[in-house]
Amino acid sequence: MHEQGAEKFLEKIRCAKPFIESYIDALVQESPGKTPADTVKMANQILPLLAKIKNNVERQAWLENFTSKAEIDDKTFLKELKNAFPRNQTRLTETENDLAPLLNLEKHLVRLILSDKETAEVILLEIDPEEFSDPALRTIAQTCRQKIDAGEDLRLDQLLDQTEDPEIRNILSRLGLESVEFDAPERTVKDCVRKFKNISLKTKIRDLKLQRLKAANAGQVERSQELGAQLNEMYSALAH
């Protein structure tokens, strides 16, 4: 019995997934979503581990395993991932992916929202805070919308007092210290809203393209056609 137990144990070890594969599976499964922020966060967790693999072929194979399971199909982002190793880089910086312009835009929108209540009303009428990719900025925008709906003023000191989240407090404190003047506030708002909607639309298009590809591969013709029609509508909206 003892020998049989040991043999079964050894068999389990022989059949067990490699550590990296298990790590990738867990990383992808635990990721909250597929926003640019989520993708970068996953990449920055796997890169240090892959960097320890000296064999380039094996390392590339695990990188492809990760990008496949994480369903990363953005060519620019994939290129940056591949180029990270020759540069001995174990972390992607914001400027090397489409997260940077999106986060900067979201931060700018929050700054505009906090600058003036009327401006905030215009922005939040056009943009749903739920569409913000950054969780902290999303929470701030949601709180501002709730205050506007309740007829309350948007005061930075009150927003700071009403949150205990250190990241949100840090963002609000930085925004309070930054003195930014807008030469043409109305035009600035329109430009920011338009850019945000375009980036949001492009993200949705990328997700729909992936869904349509999966539907086509699964032989789901009607579903694929339905997604194709939605894509055409989005492309049309992007062109205007």
In terms of residues, how long is the chain?
A: 240
User: 120 and 52 share a domain?
Assistant: no
Cα(163)–Cα(224) distance, rounded to whole angstroms? 44
Instruction: Tell me, yes or no, whether 211 and 128 share the same domain.
Output: no
| Chain position carrying tokens 């953005």 | 74
Out of 45, 67, 96, pick the residue that ends a domain: 96
Say whether 162 sits in a helix, a strand or coil: coil
134 CB burial (10 A radius; 0-12, 13-18, 19+): buried
CB distance 53 to 59 below 8 Å? yes
Mean pLDDT taken over the chain: 81
Q: Are residues 91 and 116 in the same domain?
A: no
Over residues 224-238, the pLDDT tens digits come to: 899 989 888 888 877
User: Is 70 exceeded by the pLDDT of residue 93?
Assistant: no
Among the candidates 52, 69, 96, a domain finishes at: 96
Same domain, 91 and 103: no
Q: Same domain, yes or no, for 79 and 104?
A: no
Single out the residue in 74, 96, 118 at which a domain terminates. 96
User: Do 148 and 178 reside in the same domain of the chain?
Assistant: yes
Residue with tokens 């579903």: 223
- What single letter denotes the amino acid at residue 238? L
pLDDT value for 1:
44
Residues 31 and 91 in one domain: yes
| pLDDT > 80? residue 79 | no
Q: Does 13 lie in the same domain as 67?
A: yes
The answer to whether the beta carbons of residues 91 and 102 sit under 8 Å apart is: no
Quick one: pLDDT at residue 146? 95
The percentage of the chain sitting over the pLDDT mark of 70, rounded to a whole number, equals: 80
pLDDT band at 150 (very low <50, low <70, confident <90, very high): very high
Count: domains in the chain: 3
Structure tokens at 215: 């539907």
Residues 43 and 81: beta-carbon distance below 8 Å? yes
Domain that holds residue 90: 2-96
pLDDT-based confidence at residue 56 (cuts at 50, 70, 90): confident
Q: Which residue has the tokens 């003892």?
A: 2
| Lowest mean pLDDT segment, chosen from 120-124, 201-205, 223-227 | 201-205
Q: Do 103 and 186 reside in the same domain of the chain? A: yes
List, in order, residues 6 or more apart from 26 with CB less than 8 Å away: none
The neighbour count for residue 175, using CB atoms within 10 Å, is: 18
**One domain, residues 9 and 90:** yes
Query: 207 vs 5, which has greater pLDDT?
Result: 207
Shared domain check, 159 and 111: yes
The verdict on 206 and 152 lying in the same domain is: no
